[in-house]
Amino acid sequence: MIKAEALVSIGNVIKPHGIRGEFSAEIDVDPAELRCLIFDLDGIYVPFFVDTCRQRGSQAWLVKLDGIGDEKQAAAFIGKDIYALREDLSEDDEGEDGLYLYDLCGYKLYDGDVCLGEIEAIDDSTANILMHVTTDDGKTVFVPFAEELVAGIDPESHILTMNLPQGITDLN
Mean predicted lDDT score pLDDT of the chain = 88
Splitting the chain (172 residues) into consecutive groups of 10 residues, what average pLDDT does each group show? 87 93 91 92 95 85 95 95 86 54 88 94 78 91 90 92 88 66
The DSSP bridge pattern shows strands 50-55 and 60-65 to be antiparallel
User: What distance in Å separates the CA atoms of residue 74 and residue 20, rounded to the nearest whole number?
Assistant: 9
| Cβ–Cβ under 8 Å, residues 103 and 97 | no
Give the CATH number for residue 60: 2.40.30.60
- For 34, the domain range is 4-87
Residue 149 counted as domain residue: yes
Summarised one tens digit per residue, pLDDT across range 119-150 is 988 887 667 888 999 998 999 999 999 889 99
Model pTM score: 0.58
Sheet holding 159-162, edge to edge: 140-144, 130-134, 114-123, 108-111, 159-162, 150-154
Specify the pLDDT at position 36.
Answer: 95
Tell me the one-letter amino acid at 44.
Answer: I
Domain final residue, candidates 87, 114, 133: 87
Tell me the chain's radius of gyration from C-alpha atoms: 17
Domain co-membership, 64 together with 121:
no
Do 130 and 65 belong to one domain?
no
